[in-house]
């Protein structure tokens, strides 16, 4: 203990053959601890330079890739009362299979002979259409007859006017002749009167000339009256011509008005027939809506209105089904800051509920129990939870997803980003920097984040 003697106890090798002495005397412990510390430090430094795959972690649910393959509710198109169920929960239904039968609860559709009565109304309207058509055709024939008669009467009136005009012209010529004859008679009488006053003519000659002059004056006055009568007759004939034209124009206008009224009634009846036929088609379609049928092949998941005799409203859900054919997909929700780092077609690793997994997100090759996927779609609008929805489809080049998975089960996923040293990832996490931005082609990666 005091180092007085040069002989050391450690040189006695046989002493270490005893377990008690080896447990009491620990002369070599300090060196072993130093070796362990140095080894741990070296291992830690080596680990810091190991490659680390940056990733984005997110959670979500299992869904289907196509909207038509997701669980859906079947709604009632009409308001009605449940009369019968034709399926049970868990049954398989095919397209067109009847699920529920409803009866009407609106008084407008209670009549069982409703469609037959609509047919009777249509037949009555069709008879009215035929009557209006015949009336319109008869009036059209009447209009044609009136137009022909008008043309004939107008032609007759024109001929009469022409004849009267010729008569007026003839009377005018006769009046001119009578004027000339009166002038000659007056000249002869004046000459005879002069000779009579000179006693060169006898009174008989004078009286003869005077009588001739008076006859010529009478004929002139008579011819003038005749001409005035002809002119008056011409005026009357022209008035008659206008009256004939106006009368027939009035008759034709009235016939046209009656025909247009008949056509108006005809068109109104045709519109009523079209409305009744539309109503009949609506009734026929509504009758079909009383039977709730399966829109596609699937399983009856749950009856939402199970009771017989329950009433349902228009658009109210009655039963939910799950389609048999499903192309599974996963929907995960990522933070808005991570959305620019996720690109369509990028690879994603997924972990499903109920499937044990040993996950090393930074070393995906060492993970166990995870399945591959690819980004199928990225939502452009933020969800109500404040995150963006990413739709993931199975990766055809990776292990297929378990067939036992059900829609709605939990999913946890992480998108693989850039490969960086572990020390850089630790430094990034401590400083709160985002993962490196990359182009997404798997080979050409632009480390914009590291540059900043």
Structure tokens at 120: 């009777």
Q: Do 49 and 197 lie in a common domain?
A: no
C-beta separation of 132 from 269 below 8 A:
yes
pLDDT of residue 426: 77
Per the structure block, which two tokens stand in for 329? Answer: 């997909």
Residue 2: the pLDDT is 54
- Single out the residue of 360, 438, 346 nearest to residue 392, CA to CA: 346
Torsion of CA 65, 69, 71, 76, to 10 degrees: 140
Region of 96 please: left (phi>0), alpha (psi -120 to 50) or beta: left
Looking at 322, 345, 372, which one is the last position of a domain?
A: 322
327 touches 69 (CB < 8 A) = yes
Please check whether residue 403 lies inside any domain of the structure.
Answer: yes
Report whether 316 contacts 102 (CB < 8 A). no
- Counted domains in the chain: 3
pLDDT of residue 210: 80
**CATH code, domain carrying 446:** 2.40.30.170
CA dist 280 and 270 (Å) reads: 15
CB-facing half-sphere around the CA of 400: CA atoms within 13 A? 6
**Do 121 and 27 share a structural domain?**
no
Determine, yes or no, domain membership for 4. Answer: no
Q: Are 58 and 346 in contact (CB under 8 A)?
A: no
Chunked mean pLDDT (size 10), the chain, 452 residues: 57 57 56 77 78 77 86 90 90 91 86 86 90 90 88 85 84 83 82 77 77 83 84 85 86 90 90 91 88 90 85 90 87 83 82 67 56 87 87 87 83 74 75 58 37 31
User: Is the residue at 223 inside a domain?
Assistant: yes
Question: Are residues 172 and 204 located together in one domain of the fold?
Answer: yes
3-class SS at 10?
A: helix
> Read out DSSP for 279-313?
HHHHHHHHHHHTEEE-SSSEEEEEESS-STT-EE-
Both 258 and 311 in a single domain? no
- Report if residue 141 sits inside a domain: yes
In CATH, what number is assigned to the domain containing residue 83?
A: 2.40.50.100
Instruction: Say which CATH number the domain at 183 has.
Output: 1.10.287.2610
CA-to-CA distance for 405 and 391, rounded, in angstroms? 16
Distance CA 93, CA 131 (A): 53
Please count the other Cβ atoms lying within 10 Å of the Cβ belonging to residue 410: 13
In the three-class reduction of DSSP (H, G, I as helix; E, B as strand; rest coil), residue 399 is classed as: coil
Q: Are residues 301 and 216 in the same domain?
A: no
Query: Which pLDDT does position 418 carry in this prediction?
Result: 66
The verdict on 208 and 126 lying in the same domain is yes
Same domain for 35 and 122, yes or no, is: no
The reply to whether 163 and 264 lie within a common domain is: yes
Q: Are residues 136 and 222 in the same domain?
A: yes
Residue 258 lies in a domain: yes
- d(CA 42, CA 62) in angstroms, rounded, equals 44
> Where in the sequence is the domain holding 349, given as residue range(s)?
9-65+327-451
Other C-beta atoms within 10 Å of 417: how many?
22
In a domain, residue 2? The reply is no
Whether residues 252 and 357 fall in one domain: no
Cα–Cα distance between 103 and 289 in angstroms, integer?
Answer: 10
Q: Whole-prediction pTM value?
A: 0.56
- Regarding whether 405 and 308 lie in a shared domain, the answer is no
Residue 319 pLDDT: 92
In order, the DSSP letters of 317-339 are: EEEEEEES---EEEEEEE-GGGG
Question: Is residue 194 domain-resident?
Answer: yes
DSSP state of 382: -
Determine the Cα–Cα distance for residues 161 and 139; give it in Å rounded to an integer: 32
Kindly state whether residue 266 falls inside one of the protein's structural domains. yes
pLDDT at 100: 92
Residues 146 and 92 placed together within one structural domain of the fold: no
Give me the pLDDT at residue 213, please: 82
What pLDDT score was predicted for residue 275? Answer: 92
- Do 64 and 407 touch, CB atoms closer than 8 A? yes
């Amino acid at each position: 203990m005091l180092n007085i003697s040069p002989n050391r106890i450690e040189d006695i090798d046989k002493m270490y053959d005893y377990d008690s002495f080896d447990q009491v005397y620990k002369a070599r412990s300090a060196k072993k601890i130093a070796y362990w510390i140095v080894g741990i430090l070296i291992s830690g430094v080596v680990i810091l330079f190991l490659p680390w795959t940056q990733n984005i972690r997110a959670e979500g649910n299992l869904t289907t890739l196509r909207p038509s393959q997701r669980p859906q509710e079947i709604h009632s198109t009409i308001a009605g009362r449940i009369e019968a169920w034709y399926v049970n929960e868990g049954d398989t239904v095919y397209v067109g299979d009847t699920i529920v039968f409803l009866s009407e609860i609106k008084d407008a559709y209670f009549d069982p002979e409703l469609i037959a009565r609509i047919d009777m109304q249509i037949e009555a309207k069709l008879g009215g259409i035929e009557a209006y058509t015949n009336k319109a055709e008869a009036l059209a024939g009447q209009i044609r007859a009136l137009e022909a008669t008008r043309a004939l009467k107008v032609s007759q009136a024109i001929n009469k006017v022409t004849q009267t005009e010729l008569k007026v012209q003839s009377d005018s010529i006769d009046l001119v002749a009578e004027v000339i004859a009166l002038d000659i008679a007056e000249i002869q009488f004046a000459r005879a009167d002069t000779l009579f006053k000179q006693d060169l003519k006898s009174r008989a000659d004078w009286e003869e000339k005077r009588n001739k002059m008076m006859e010529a004056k009478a004929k002139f006055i008579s011819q003038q009256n005749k001409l005035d009568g002809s002119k008056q007759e011409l005026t009357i004939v022209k008035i008659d011509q206008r009256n004939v034209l106006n009368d027939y124009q009035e008759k034709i206008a009235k016939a046209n008005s009656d025909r247009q009224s008949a056509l108006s009634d005809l068109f109104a009846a045709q519109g009523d027939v079209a409305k009744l036929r539309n109503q009949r088609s609506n009734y026929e379609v509504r009758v079909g809506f009383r039977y709730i049928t399966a829109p596609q092949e699937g399983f009856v998941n749950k009856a939402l209105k199970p009771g017989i005799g329950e009433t349902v409203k228009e658009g109210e859900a009655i039963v939910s089904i799950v389609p048999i054919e499903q192309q599974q997909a996963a929907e995960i929700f990522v933070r808005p800051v991570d959305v620019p780092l996720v690109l369509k077609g990028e690879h994603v690793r997924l972990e499903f509920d109920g499937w044990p997994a040993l996950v090393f997100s930074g070393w995906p090759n060492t993970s166990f129990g995870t399945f591959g996927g690819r980004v199928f779609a990225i939502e452009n609008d933020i969800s109500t939870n404040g995150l963006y929805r990413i739709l993931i489809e199975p990766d055809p080049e990776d292990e297929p997803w378990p067939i036992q998975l059900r829609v709605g089960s939990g999913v946890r996923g992480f998108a693989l980003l850039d490969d960086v040293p572990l020390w850089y990832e630790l430094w990034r996490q401590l400083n709160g920097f985002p993962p490196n931005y990359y182009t997404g082609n798997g080979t050409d990666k632009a480390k914009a984040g590291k540059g900043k």
